């Protein structure tokens, strides 16, 4: 086995996804705590003592207590029973709010598995359902974590039934709760035969800010200690096993089943069991297929796929500026797909054909940064001031490769944006170009409105708030927005644009990537134009 394959085998790269307020950022902190990356979790009980989590670095995130941007963390972790080198965990915390689902979807293209967090009291919520379906559609293996079991919630079997019914995904218990929701005593471990073979009892710590001590018992000792609560847990786990809900690695990797663990991220109960599970069963990185369209269009030899141990290649899934006020730089978050990355190496940008040096490469933990000298498949690193890179771009060394582009999502909300002061126009344009490149919003322009008053297109209205907040914070430009009367966008072409532009309630724009976008007042207006002019191009802007 080559050094690259050996390093890739110990990588585990996954995203934490869920509905807002399910506890994603709290779990991220708890996982980092158990890996001894931090000494105290960022979220503690009580409003007066509450700290913002390390992964939430944006002021808006700290003020509202929600994540509005993805954050990548890397650390080493060795399960107690593990022999040899520790695993390298690449963990991506994502926005839960539906307004930022495009950012979440990009992250899902850069990871090998997902941890789906479900609130014990609320069960499957709309955003949870949506993300589950995206993971299943992409064949992304899912580990389900029922969070907040320390609070009053629903019955565990009821939650399992809901998952089976709503998304046709069979949860398979690995750690089943002992004690009802709100009376979380510990976890019953379920082995590969569906039998309960061990009990982990948790001891609370002050505010849940440190690792919760564990006490371990045999099934006989657990029955004596916990009585009916233990018997109930064993009966429920055995009932599911009798129904065929037993972990099968192949079915898990095919996204047919989902190992399920009960936890309390706030109290640090069940957290290291989540990490141990990911190390044991989450897929290691694999090679990736190239974009068939790029291969077909290429005039020179291009790889149709990229094995792990071939030349270096990577795909950018996010571009972010403003993470560090002291540096005022831009980070392009890249997933290493193949080969070995060495800081300073010359790479080629597949989309432009230009070469550049990777002199400044970092791992990012919240606002803290560490220089990366070497990275391997599965690792997520930040390339500093790689201004030419955009989400979905490929960089490579050696033989050319280009991976499939990331789809842009159909916007449903549109507002104009302008600087309050004409004297700030230069800064306004700079900020606009940068935040557009990051994908904070899509920027649309036309000659009628001019460059000074572009139109922002977004999946959700909170993206506009982020845009304005970052323009003011990072570029010192106060802005004003105004709603415009459109709610539907379609892609069109040069042949169709003139006639579409003559229709009442339709306006034509050019997006930053050169695409022509037609905005319609509503779906009824779109239907009318489609009926009257079936020859015109009006294609949906919908992700695969």
Take residue 366 and report the two structure tokens written for it: 């919240």
201 is in an annotated binding site: no
Residue 417 neighbours by CB distance under 10 Å: 23
Rounded to the nearest 5 degrees, what angle is found at the Cα of 86, between the Cα atoms of 103 and 56?
30
Q: What is the distance between the alpha carbons of residues 81 and 91, in angstroms, rounded to a whole number? A: 22
Contact 44, 31 (CB under 8 A): no
Take residue 325 and report the two structure tokens written for it: 């006020």
Q: What is the distance between the alpha carbons of residues 221 and 228, in angstroms, rounded to a whole number? A: 13
Q: What is the distance between the alpha carbons of residues 248 and 193, in angstroms, rounded to a whole number? A: 10
Contact 263, 176 (CB under 8 A): no
Q: What is the distance between the alpha carbons of residues 530 and 30, in angstroms, rounded to a whole number? A: 52
User: Which of 509, 498, 507, 542 has its CA nearest to residue 525?
Assistant: 507
Q: What is the DSSP letter of 123?
A: B
96 is in an annotated binding site: yes
Q: How far is CA 308 from CA 44, 106, 132, 341, in A?
A: 41, 21, 28, 12
Q: What is the distance between the alpha carbons of residues 104 and 32, in angstroms, rounded to a whole number? A: 21
179 is in an annotated binding site: no
3-state percent helix, strand, coil for the chain, nearest multiple of 5: 30, 30, 45
Crossing angle (nearest 10°) for helices 219-226 and 228-242: 130
User: Which of 353, 378, 372 has its CA nearest to residue 288?
Assistant: 378
Indicate the helix (H) or strand (E) that contains 314.
Answer: strand 313-321
93 is in an annotated binding site: yes
Contact 131, 24 (CB under 8 A): no
Q: What is the distance between the alpha carbons of residues 278 and 292, in angstroms, rounded to a whole number? A: 32
Integer distance in angstroms from the first to the last C-alpha of the chain? 36
Q: What is the distance between the alpha carbons of residues 531 and 523, in angstroms, rounded to a whole number? A: 12
Take residue 339 and report the two structure tokens written for it: 């080969």
Q: What is the distance between the alpha carbons of residues 406 and 315, in angstroms, rounded to a whole number? A: 10
Take residue 147 and report the two structure tokens written for it: 């969070």
> 87-118 b/e with 16+ CB inside 10 Å = b?
bbbbbbbbbbbbbbbbbbbbbbbbbbbbbbbb
Take residue 21 and report the two structure tokens written for it: 């307020």
Indicate the helix (H) or strand (E) that contains 365.
Answer: strand 361-365
Order of strands, edge to edge, in the sheet holding 488-492? Answer: 479-483, 413-419, 455-458, 442-445, 506-511, 516-520, 488-492, 539-540
97 is in an annotated binding site: yes
Q: What is the distance between the alpha carbons of residues 88 and 95, in angstroms, rounded to a whole number? A: 23
Binding residues for GTP: 93-97
Binding residues: 93-97
């Amino acid at each position: 086995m080559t050094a690259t394959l050996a390093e890739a085998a110990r990588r585990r790269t996954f995203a934490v996804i869920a509905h807002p307020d399910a506890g994603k950022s709290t779990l991220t902190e708890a996982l980092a705590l158990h890996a001894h990356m931090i000494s105290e979790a960022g979220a503690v009980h009580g409003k007066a003592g509450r700290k913002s989590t390390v992964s939430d670095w944006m002021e808006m995130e700290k003020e509202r207590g929600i994540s509005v941007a993805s954050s990548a963390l890397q650390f080493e972790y060795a399960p107690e029973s593990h022999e040899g080198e520790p695993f390298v965990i690449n963990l991506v915390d994502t926005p839960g709010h539906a307004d930022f689902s495009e950012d979440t979807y990009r992250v899902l293209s850069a990871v090998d598995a997902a941890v789906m967090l479900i609130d014990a009291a609320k069960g499957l919520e709309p955003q949870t359902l949506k993300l589950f379906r995206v993971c299943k559609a992409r064949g992304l293996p899912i580990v389900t974590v029922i969070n907040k079991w320390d609070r009053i919630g629903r019955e565990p079997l009821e939650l399992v039934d809901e998952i089976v019914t709503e998304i046709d995904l069979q949860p398979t218990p690995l750690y089943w709760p002992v004690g009802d929701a709100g009376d979380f005593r510990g976890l019953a471990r379920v082995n590969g035969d569906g039998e309960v073979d061990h009990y982990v009892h948790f001891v609370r710590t002050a505010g849940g800010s440190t690792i919760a001590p564990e006490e371990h018992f045999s099934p006989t000792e657990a029955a004596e200690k916990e009585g009916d609560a233990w018997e109930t847990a064993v009966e429920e786990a055995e009932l599911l096993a009798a129904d065929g809900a037993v972990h099968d690695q192949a079915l898990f990797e095919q996204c047919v089943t989902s190992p399920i663990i009960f936890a309390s991220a706030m109290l640090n109960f069940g957290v290291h069991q989540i990490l141990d599970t990911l190390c044991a069963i989450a897929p290691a990185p694999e090679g990736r297929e190239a974009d068939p369209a790029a291969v077909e269009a290429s005039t020179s030899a291009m790889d149709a796929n990229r094995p792990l141990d071939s030349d270096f290649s990577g795909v950018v899934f996010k571009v972010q500026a403003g993470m560090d006020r002291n540096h005022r730089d831009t980070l392009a978050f890249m997933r290493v797909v193949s080969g070995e990355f060495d800081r300073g190496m010359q790479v080629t940008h597949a989309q432009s054909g230009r070469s550049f040096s990777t002199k400044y490469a970092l791992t990012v933990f919240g606002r803290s940064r560490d220089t990366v000298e070497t990275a391997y498949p599965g690792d997520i690193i930040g390339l500093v001031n790689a201004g030419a890179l955009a989400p979905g771009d490929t960089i490579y060394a050696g033989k050319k490769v280009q991976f499939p582009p990331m789809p842009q999502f159909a916007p449903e909300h549109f507002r104009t944006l302008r600087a309050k002061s004409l004297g700030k126009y230069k800064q306004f344009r700079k900020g606009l170009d940068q935040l557009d490149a990051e994908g904070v919003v899509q920027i649309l322009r036309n000659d009628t409105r001019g460059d000074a008053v572009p139109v922002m297109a977004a999946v959700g209205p909170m993206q506009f708030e982020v845009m304005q907040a970052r323009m003011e914070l990072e570029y010192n430009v106060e802005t004003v927005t105004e709603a415009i009367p459109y709610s539907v966008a379609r892609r069109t072409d040069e042949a169709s644009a003139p006639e579409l532009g003559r229709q009442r309630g339709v306006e034509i724009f050019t997006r930053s990537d050169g695409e022509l976008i037609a905005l319609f007042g509503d779906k009824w207006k779109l239907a009318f134009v489609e009926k009257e002019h079936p020859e015109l191009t009006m294609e949906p802007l919908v992700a695969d």
